[in-house]
Amino acid sequence: MFTDLGHLSVIFALIACLYAAVVSPLGAQRNDDRLVQSGRLAALMTFPLVLIGCLGLWYALLTHDFGVKYVADVSSLATPIFFRITALWGSQNGSILFWCLIMSAFVAAAMVRDWDAAGDKPLLPYVTMTMALVLGFFLFLELFLANAFLRSDFPPQDGRGLNPLLRHPGMIIHPPMLYAGYTGLLVPFAFCIASLITRRSDDLWLRSSRRWTLVGWAFLTAGLLLGGRWAHDVLGWGGYWGWDPSENKPLITWLIATPFLHSAMIQEKRGMFKNWNVFLMMLTFASMFFGTAFIRSGLLTSVHAFAASDIGPFFMGAMIVILAACAMLWLTRLDVLRSENKLDSAFSREGIFLIQNVLFLSTSFTVFIGTIFPILSEAIGGTKITVGPPFFDQTAGPQMAALVALMGMAPLLAWGKSSGAAVSRQMIVPAAFALVVMIALFVGGANQPIPLLLFGLCAYTLAQTVMEYVRGVRARMRGGNESVPVALVRLAQKNQRRYGGYLVHLGVVLMAIGVIGKGFYGQDTITTPAVKLNESFTVGDYTFTYRGIRPVPCEFNDCQTMQAMLLISSAGDGRILGAAFPYRDYYPMQQHTATIPDISGTFNNEVYVILAGWDNNGATASFQVFINPLINWIWVGGVVMILGFFVCFWKVPEREPAAAPITARRPAPAGAPAK
């Protein structure tokens, strides 16, 4: 009953979307504010309506209503309550509904903001229209092609249970994060479209949607990180990133949204690259549709393409229509978007941002081509050629290294034009630091040239980024009598975007260190031959002694778990370092085995043990061991990146008398959302 009410509510949400999409532009044309406001309210209403829909499905999940097909597919009587809640996005049909919920939340948040105070009222009708159309598309998809509310004629006694792979905190938070990332980026897209339709040449759309873009970007970043963490903790690969299509898809979008964040600054400060920003925004949006179309259509096989279904072609069609509409809109506005300024010099912040932008795009293109090559090769040559991680490592890897290098250069260059002498003087300290680090590593035994150079590059960029803070703090201390911490905090408060951004850069460098460490110094073993009880084997600096296997209670009620015990000791002096308990879950219902690694070792040297199999009740067992040096730096770097986002995003109440923004071309009003 509740569930059917939810179904009805989602139908109403679709109607509200269509209404808003028609009425808003009509109101703008007739100059009738009542119509515009009516459209705005209709768009606002989609959030509560979709929420009721989700509550309806949640009700069915919680009450074990197996009459609803979706509930029987993703839960069973044994599924714990927590996973029955998260099962809402555990499979395709529910996940689209959940996607609609998050998207409608962003739509509602954009609608309730104070448009009069923000000064961008003229954009409102078309922002409403764009958002309502996109949300309407997904609601249509949910209702007509992937309906989660459908009932079956013969309800089963028990459901199939949630996909075992999805029972991990990383996997539970990661999809909502990615959805929020994608749908958050819908807001700047809607502002971009509205700005084009109203033929505006200024940067109002950028300033108004700046904080939304940041939010979308941060969610996307967090989603990618959590996805990596999930792969690391659950899939038993020993790694964190497998260049899988499902991973590449958000990465492609991230690799377009990130340069957009940078080039938007050029338009705000110098009035240049207007066309470019519109292009990047449209590309960001298109990449989201592209990825979803390919993954959901089952054209690309992936570790967790939940379901191959018929929504793929529909997505493709929609993508072509959207791209065509965007291109037309853009091409008819080219004259409006002419640059206000000329590039004074290539040796400037604008110049290096341009290089950074194209490098980001070519990296994104690289990932894109590697991801779709299997389909291309099948369409053209008839054989589906798999593109494995080595391709991406060799092609995207160097481009990413170049981006890290640019990150160490860009902060030195001023807007407009820079003096070469000043820049090279500022490079001395970081370069010296990099040299010291490289020598220390070389003496320590790291004698492969490529990783040594890469570590040096990271050390340089790290030092350069830290030096940005040092210079800022010193300037504040020279100007006033501030202590170091006070100066640091005030510096960040007064220039949130600049110093938050540098914190993000710092996070990226830390991450790069982890990637290099794992990539060049990671060690793994072949699955060992059967190890007898109390026998040992050695990997790298570690000796593992097999101490037996035992059944343990299953975490989730519906599986059988076997856990192995290993003693870890130092291969050198035999000192005991700890124990490892890798295990395997067998899910009879899904006929699925999950291999859960044991992760131990030190911060810099992770020991990752997988139970590969056993015989004769554990008389022998075989294992696979990965030594992952520096991999933890990736997670630390990720946390630092998110912290940097908070520094950019947090609204700091002004306590000192406000001084005019020092770098802005014009006073930048807070283009901030209401909440």
Q: Report which of 294, 428, 256, 304 is spatially closest to residue 373, judged by C-alpha positions.
A: 294
Q: Which of 78, 361, 410, 672 binds another protein (CB under 8 A)?
A: 361
Which range in 67-75, 171-179, 573-581, 650-658 contacts another protein by CB under 8 A? 650-658
Which range in 27-35, 146-154, 260-268, 643-651 contacts another protein by CB under 8 A? 643-651
Which range in 65-73, 164-172, 364-372, 559-567 contacts another protein by CB under 8 A? 364-372
Q: Which is nearer to another protein, 17 or 354 (CB)?
A: 354
Q: Which of 234, 549, 647, 648 binds another protein (CB under 8 A)?
A: 647
Which range in 79-87, 91-99, 218-226, 242-250 contacts another protein by CB under 8 A? 242-250
| Shortest Cβ 234–another protein spacing (Å) | 14
Q: Report which of 366, 351, 444, 433 is spatially closest to residue 399, judged by C-alpha positions.
A: 366
Q: Which of 6, 161, 242, 519 binds another protein (CB under 8 A)?
A: 242
Give the DSSP H or E segment for 578.
strand 576-580
The two tokens of residue 82 are: 């927590």
Which range in 90-98, 147-155, 163-171, 234-242 contacts another protein by CB under 8 A? 234-242
Backbone angles phi, psi at 598, to 5 degrees: -100, 130
What is the spatial distance between Cα 105 and Cα 109, in angstroms, rounded to a whole number? 6
Q: Which of 9, 79, 130, 605 binds another protein (CB under 8 A)?
A: 605
Q: Which of 37, 38, 301, 309 binds another protein (CB under 8 A)?
A: 301
426 near another protein (CB under 8 A): yes
| Shortest Cβ 562–another protein spacing (Å) | 14
Backbone angles phi, psi at 625, to 5 degrees: -125, 135
| Shortest Cβ 343–another protein spacing (Å) | 4
306 near another protein (CB under 8 A): no
Cβ-count burial 310-322 (b if 16+ within 10 Å, e if not)? ebbebbbebbeeb
604 near another protein (CB under 8 A): yes
Q: Is 622 helix (H, G, I), strand (E, B) or coil?
A: strand
One character per residue 130-169, x = contact with another protein (rule: CB under 8 A) = ----------------------------------------
Residue list 191-230, contact with another protein (CB under 8 A): none
Q: Which is nearer to another protein, 40 or 174 (CB)?
A: 174
- Locate tokens 């996070």: which residue? 507
586 near another protein (CB under 8 A): no
What is the spatial distance between Cα 480 and Cα 492, in angstroms, rounded to a whole number? 16
Q: Is 672 helix (H, G, I), strand (E, B) or coil?
A: coil
Residue list 532-571, contact with another protein (CB under 8 A): 538-541, 571
How far CA 9 is from CA of 5, 6, 103, 132, 184, in Å, comes to: 6, 5, 16, 16, 23
Q: Which is nearer to another protein, 152 or 302 (CB)?
A: 302
Q: Which of 357, 464, 569, 628 binds another protein (CB under 8 A)?
A: 357
- Name residue 35's amino acid: L
The two tokens of residue 63 are: 């009450």
- Name residue 56's amino acid: G
- Name residue 355's amino acid: I
Which range in 102-110, 167-175, 316-324, 339-347 contacts another protein by CB under 8 A? 339-347
| Shortest Cβ 599–another protein spacing (Å) | 16
Residue list 462-491, contact with another protein (CB under 8 A): 471-472, 474-476, 478-480, 485, 488-489, 491
What is the spatial distance between Cα 10 and Cα 8, in angstroms, rounded to a whole number? 5
Instruction: Annotate 354-376 with three-state secondary structure.
Output: HHHHHHHHHHHHHHHHHHHHHHH
Q: Which is nearer to another protein, 223 or 242 (CB)?
A: 242
Q: Which is nearer to another protein, 183 or 543 (CB)?
A: 543
Q: Which of 529, 553, 574, 667 binds another protein (CB under 8 A)?
A: 529
Q: Which of 267, 528, 600, 620 binds another protein (CB under 8 A)?
A: 528
Give the CA angle between residues 219, 221, 225 to the nearest 5°: 115
441 near another protein (CB under 8 A): yes
DSSP state of 413: S
Q: Is 577 helix (H, G, I), strand (E, B) or coil?
A: strand
How many C-alpha atoms does 43 have within 13 Å on its Cβ side? 32
CB-CB contact of 492 with 500 (8 Å): yes
Strand partners, 626: 524, 608
CB-CB contact of 590 with 164 (8 Å): yes
Q: How many residues belong to the site for another protein (CB under 8 A)?
A: 113
Residue list 379-398, contact with another protein (CB under 8 A): 381, 383-391, 394-396
The two tokens of residue 231 are: 């792969």
Q: Which is nearer to another protein, 322 or 343 (CB)?
A: 343
| Shortest Cβ 609–another protein spacing (Å) | 14
575 near another protein (CB under 8 A): no
